[in-house]
C-alpha cells in the first residue's frame, strides 16, 4: 500500500503517505464547486510532473558531483471541458545563478533526464506539455 485517502466532507480529502505518515489535504477548485483553499486533484497531477522531473534531475546531478538546490519550477495547469480534464501543463524553470553557467553537455543530460521522468512517461499524449528551461534554453 502506498497511501490512503479519506473523504472528510465539503469536497475535501486527507491523503496520508503510509510509510512516513505525512499527509496533506485536497480541495475541489473554485470552478468546480470547491473553495480552492488547497491543491485540487488536478493541481497535484500537474505539480507531480514538476516534482518528478526535478527529483530525477537531482539524482542525476548528485551522481555528477553537484546539486540542484534552489531550482524553482512554476506550474501552470490548463483545464479543458467536455469532458472536464487536464488539457495542458506548462512548466517554467528558474535556474539559480550558481547553475546558470554549467556546460551544455551537462544541461542536455539534465534536461533529458527530466524529460524522461516516470510522470512524464505516464502523461496521456493528448495532454500538451510545454517546458521552458529558462536560462538553460
Burial 84-108 (b: 16+ CB within 10 A, else e): eebeebebebebeeebeebeeeebe
Average pLDDT along the chain? 97
| Calpha distance 137→125 (Å, rounded) | 23
pLDDT band per the 50, 70, 90 thresholds, residue 136: very high
Sequence-ordered list of residues with C-beta below 8 angstroms from that of 102, at least 6 positions apart, any chain: 66
Helix segments in 12-103, DSSP class H: 41-63
Q: For the chain, list the domains and their CATH numbers.
A: 3-32 (no CATH), 41-136 (3.30.300.20)
pLDDT number for residue 12: 98
Task: Give the other-Cβ count within 10 Å of 31's Cβ.
Answer: 10
- Summarize pLDDT for 31-53 with one digit per residue, the tens: 999 999 999 999 999 999 999 99
Under 8 Å between Cβ of 12 and 38: yes
> Could you report the per-residue pLDDT of 68-93, keeping only the tens digit for each?
999 999 999 999 999 999 999 999 99
Amino acid at each position: 500500500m502506498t497511501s490512503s485517502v479519506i473523504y472528510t466532507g465539503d469536497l475535501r480529502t486527507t491523503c496520508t503517505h503510509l510509510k512516513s505518515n505525512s499527509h496533506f489535504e485536497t480541495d475541489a477548485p473554485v470552478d468546480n464547486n470547491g473553495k480552492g483553499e488547497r491543491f485540487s486533484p488536478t493541481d497535484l497531477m500537474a505539480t507531480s510532473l514538476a516534482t518528478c522531473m526535478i527529483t530525477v534531475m537531482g539524482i542525476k546531478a548528485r551522481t555528477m558531483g553537484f546539486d540542484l538546490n534552489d531550482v524553482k519550477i512554476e506550474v501552470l495547469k490548463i483545464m479543458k471541458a467536455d469532458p472536464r480534464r487536464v488539457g495542458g501543463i506548462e512548466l517554467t524553470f528558474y535556474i539559480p545563478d550558481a547553475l546558470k553557467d554549467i556546460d551544455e553537455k551537462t544541461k542536455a543530460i539534465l534536461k533529458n533526464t527530466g524529460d524522461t521522468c516516470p510522470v512524464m512517461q505516464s502523461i496521456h499524449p493528448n495532454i500538451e506539455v510545454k517546458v521552458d528551461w529558462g536560462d538553460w534554453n
